[in-house]
Chain A
Amino acid sequence: MNELALQAIIQHYRTSEEGLVEILREASRQAGYLTPEHLAFIAKALHLPQSQVHSVASFYSLISLKPLGRHVVRFCQDAPCHVVGGRAVWEAVQAALGIGVGETTPDGRWSLLTTSCIGACSVGPVMMVDDDIHGNLTPESVRDILARYDKIGGAA
């Protein structure tokens, strides 16, 4: 992301400390992840110490400081999804992508993260792929869902 795009995000929210969380989240969403240069730019624009910007950026789960794959899977690992068969689905997702939690596939297509509850518990187990929520997952259905987004390479 270039400085112009970043400046536009800062302008859209507030050019003050109070806008920091929203600016970081939106910038991270658009850029995929935030580099030290991004953080320095935001710190300067908001007249904040870089340490504060980094501390906020590293706190929230929707702000990423490391590169993620083209598609990000966020699998809900909380109790309501767990009780209705989430564990088997979780294993199927890992097998389908061939990676474990926090990892990115070597071809850069996929990253696999876990998430806390996303409020879709009546259709659990649930995962988010990018911005989409998929519910009522079964170990059999996850491969088809993932394949709709991109090539998957893991074990069948």
Chain B
Amino acid sequence: MIRTTLLISGDPQSLARGANEVRLAVEAELAFYGLTGEVRVGFTPDVSRTDILPFITVYPEGIVYGPLSPQDGAFIVEEHLYKGRVVEHLLAPPEILSGKIVRLPGKEGKLYAEKRVILRRVGVIDPYSIEEYIADDGYFALGKALTEMTPEQVRQVVKDANLQGRGGAGFPAGLKWGFVASEPAMPKYIVCNADESEPGTFKDRTILEGDPHAVLEAMAIAGYAVGAHEGWIYIRGEYALSKERLERAIQQAEEMGLLGDNILDSGFSFRIHVHAGAGAYVCGEETALLESMEGRRGIPRIRPPYPTVAGFRGKPTVVNNVETLANVPPILLHGANWYKGIGTERCPGTKVYTIMGDVALTGLIEVPMGITLREVIEAYGGGMKDGKTFKCAQTGGASGSIIPPSMLDTPMDFATMRQYNAALGSGALLICGQDTCVVDLAYVLMRFFQTESCGKCTPCRVGTQRIVETLERLRSGQGMVDDLQRLEETARDILSASFCGLGQAAPVPILTALEHFRAEVEAHIQGTCPAGVCAMNAGAEAAVSVNHNYFVKTAS
């Protein structure tokens, strides 16, 4: 019975480069292992790439190897088809699309394969099994750091790799580690920010649920690099499953001596504790998170001093996002140059995006930094849902920007998005079709901030409330002529005067909506909702009476 089909590129150019010899070698090796009856071998004429000829595609997995010599072909039969292991070093290099971004050749008729670095074990290994993690190179990076590298060298690799914080701000992790390492105060702490609450974001949950040991390993490495012996994971209260898996993983790692005292006989000790939150978006802000960990309301602290100087318990503290940390073991294993080979020059590495809204396929992908929104929608989202047309996207969660169709082809990385006054943030991509009303969308986003504002500072507490009220008026047809100005002024006040990142990000949706969709907001003031979403008639009477009074006044 045929279980596998192996297609070899058979175009003239491939044949000239020895495709036939590859085929003969493959067939001989198949006969040697007695696989001839199970594997079908054929030539494929369909070649869109010339840089990997000759190549072999193995179906049903859809894995592409190339360029290949006859010996390579034989080796693939032995490793992949007989032993069942993918031959990493022969995999076809990622396809270069627009010069900056890469796409891997993928499965036929399905999603394009992604570039999985930090999600590569998610869904592949059993998250309850430390053995499976170790079998897939798990804890090798920690072993390498402890036995072959000094803390300085570990920090240098992370710095050289230019790993940027994936929590949203993109701050270089290597710099942060350096700050903490240079502080004289002891003890020091590593805190993993797993308070993932940005609307539309579930990347950290996926990592924690699918590959919890990766985060533990990274925290231990960070501890070694900066001289900390204690790590804390602050996980949001709603993530019960992630918490359970983390606690199980910590227990396993301690039993195996990969956490705890004198790890791998190196003399380095590191322990990790889990602290669950109780439902507050603002606790994702690092100083509010520390307040919450110390048993208080999650209200941000004044900065400076930054947590790197005075963080948890007033001591130097590294606060890193889950995704940031998950990048660390692969960087240590493969080196900074390997890492910089992925993504864009200014922002190396991959980014995990969550895709939702009006696309055919929603979910989560990991792709190199620098992919464009259009590629995300077309290649991974399967196009727009139900034939809708793209109207806008909201990137980076609630605190991100609303971006218009003109930015569909902008390569997305932290630096480029900043340049366009947009935010990559947490990597949430909310795709909206033409039947979405921007005013309605902005209202929902601003209501989120109004609900989640901690109340410490007036601009955020009162300002978000005022914007919500104004938008509420607009979407019920009661808009006033000076509402645009009111929205803009209030938003700018919140932006410039708020105490923490929550308030400083809160006006971004409304400001970007006004920037790119001003006409639509103005239409609401005139009493129509172009998308037909807002119940404009709700306020029709009131609006009429306002006009009426106005005329009465001018008449008198």
Contact = CB atoms under 8 A, between A and B. Distances in A.
A34 to B, nearest CB: 12
Interface stretch (A1-9, A12-20, A103-111, A142-150): A12-20
Contacts of B294: 17-18
B441 A83 contact: yes
Contacts of B444: 77-79, 82
A80 B296 contact: no
B115 to A, nearest CB: 20
B356 A116 contact: no
A11 to B, nearest CB: 16
Interface in B176-204: 196-202
Contacts of A80: 199-200, 356-357, 428, 430
A82 B441 CA distance: 8
Contacts of A124: 356
Query: Which of B275, B294, B356, B441 counts the most A-chain CB atoms under 10 A from its CB?
Result: B356
Interface string B246-285: 0000000000000000000000000000011111110000
Interface string A102-136: 00000000000001111111111000100100000
A79 B200 contact: yes
A61 B199 contact: no
Contacts of B357: 80, 83-84
A20 B277 CA distance: 10
Contacts of A123: 362
Contacts, number: 135
Contact of B295 (A16, A79, A115, A128): A16
Contacts of B202: 119-122
Query: Which of B276, B278, B445 counts the most A-chain CB atoms under 10 A from its CB?
Result: B278
Contact of B278 (A63, A116, A121): A63
A119 B239 contact: yes
A22 to B, nearest CB: 6
A18 B293 contact: yes
A56 B291 CA distance: 11
28 contacts: A16-B295, A17-B295, A19-B295, A21-B275, A21-B276, A22-B275, A22-B276, A48-B295, A55-B296, A56-B296, A56-B297, A60-B237, A60-B280, A63-B278, A78-B199, A78-B445, A79-B398, A80-B430, A116-B197, A116-B281, A116-B448, A116-B452, A117-B197, A117-B200, A119-B202, A119-B205, A121-B201, A123-B362
Given A122-B362, A128-B238, 6 more contacts: A52-B295, A55-B297, A79-B448, A116-B452, A117-B199, A131-B240
Interface of A: 16-22, 24-25, 46, 48, 52, 55-56, 59-63, 77-80, 82-84, 115-124, 128, 131
Cβ-closest 8 pairs across A and B: A61-B279, A60-B278, A20-B295, A62-B279, A17-B295, A119-B202, A78-B199, A117-B199
